[in-house]
Amino acid sequence: MDISNKTDYSLITSTENSFSDFFNNFKSAYNITPKIHTILQLSENLNTTTQNLSLFLDIATKYRSNGISFVVICNGIDIDEIPDEINIVPTLTEAEDVLEMDAIERDLGF
């Protein structure tokens, strides 16, 4: 797992060979109250499933309740099968766009 701190967010990129290894490493590293917007970039070689992504539901909810954005970058997933509380996008550019939209919604009181 690689962590890059950007100006407005933290970018976490998976380097593990299995989703379970990555998820366990992520939970260990981020088992605290979220303080910075986070973009999670999942490697295509993890073979991530919708069931795997559902594991992020509690984490995404925790971020949102603290006014912090949490976005997952993952290709090849039917986003209609993922709970709306988890922001899933296919590219980093779209993830950054979601951070901006979330900030606007927070500013407007949504």
Which CATH number do you get for residue 14? 3.30.750.24
What pLDDT is stored for residue 32 in this prediction? Answer: 63
Q: Which domain holds residue 31?
A: 2-108
CB atoms within 10 A of CB 103: 14
Which residues are CB-contacts of 24 (< 8 A; sequence separation ≥ 6)?
none
Residue 61, judged by CB atoms within 10 A of its CB (0-12, 13-18, 19+), counts as middle
User: How many domains does the chain divide into?
Assistant: 1
Structure tokens at 20: 């379970």
For residues 27, 98, 4 and 90, what is the CA-based torsion angle, rounded to 10 degrees?
A: 80
What pLDDT is stored for residue 33 in this prediction? Answer: 61
| Positions in the chain short of pLDDT 50 | none
What pLDDT is stored for residue 40 in this prediction? Answer: 94
Residue whose pair of structure tokens reads 């073979």 in the numeric block: 47
What pLDDT is stored for residue 35 in this prediction? Answer: 82
CA of residue 30 relative to chain centroid, distance: 12
Q: What are the backbone dihedrals phi and psi of residue 108, each rounded to the nearest 5 degrees, phi first? A: -85, -5
